[in-house]
A and B are shown apart, each in its own frame.
Chain A
Amino acid sequence: AQSVTQPDIHITVSEGASLELRCNYSYGATPYLFWYVQSPGQGLQLLLKYFSGDTLVQGIKGFEAEFKRSQSSFNLRKPSVHWSDAAEYFCAVGARTGGYNKLIFGAGTRLAVHP
């Protein structure tokens, strides 16, 4: 069955430090992979996506992610975190199940940023 695992429930970093949020997926075919960010009480904003091609994907707000098929991973990175990056981050895989195209979300990682 398709699944997405985000091993870190909560991460705290200092402003200006680098960041890596982990995401592992389980999917039998070539995955479509997404990272979304959610601020409190808000909907989801797409940070970046991977469909095919270059495995290093650039997104908005200075984020990037690297697809590693051998590790079934799609980790999100940012070289220097800003206080405004504090939010909930969700990794998702696009899957086709039961004849329908769906997004399967990980549990999320809550990022706190210390000044």
Chain B
Amino acid sequence: GAVVSQHPSWVICKSGTSVKIECRSLDFQATTMFWYRQFPKQSLMLMATSNEGSKATYEQGVEKDKFLINHASLTLSTLTVTSAHPEDSSFYICSARDQRLAVGNEQFFGPGTRLTVL
């Protein structure tokens, strides 16, 4: 149980285009989803926290107009990188938890999406 999927697993796009990444909880209801960014050989940096049906809460320094997050259902959250530029190239990882059930902030992680902007 507690499986989280991401799609696509990797994407290459041209500079200036927008890219959407999906994060799905397959066998549980994710009341809260998190989006992380990971640069090569570095740790995970939390970008934003989204609760189903409400606006995402962005971490300091993360541009909300650049990284659009939608969490419209209990099993799906999307991250859209708008007008992507090469510096947006990174590994994006989502995680999810059922806030009503989870103990101790446990989160279940997706496999990640590798974004390369040319």
Contacts and interface: CB of A to CB of B under 8 A. Distances in A.
Secondary structure dominating the interface of A: strand
A103 B105 contact: yes
A62 to B, nearest CB: 21
A43 B104 contact: no
A102 B105 contact: yes
B100 interface: no
Interface residue tally on A, bucketed by range: 20 to 34
Contacts, number: 61
A62 B118 CA distance: 42
Contacts of B4: 43
Contacts of B93: 43-44
Interface residue tally on B, bucketed by range: 20 to 34
Contact of A32 (B57, B105, B108, B114): B105
Interface of B: 4, 6, 32, 34, 41-44, 46, 49, 57, 91, 93, 95, 97, 99, 103-112, 114
Contacts of A95: 105
Among B44, B109, B112, B114, chain A packs the most CB atoms within 10 A around the CB of: B44
A94 B106 contact: yes
A83 interface: no
5 contacts: A32-B104, A95-B105, A96-B105, A98-B57, A101-B97
Interface stretch (A12-20, A71-79, A105-113): A105-113
Contacts of B99: 101
A101 B105 contact: yes
Interface of A: 32, 34, 36, 41-46, 49, 51, 90, 94-96, 98, 100-103, 105-108, 110
Given A42-B112, A43-B110, A43-B112, A90 B43 contact: yes
Contact of A49 (B46, B106, B114): B106
B106 A41 contact: no
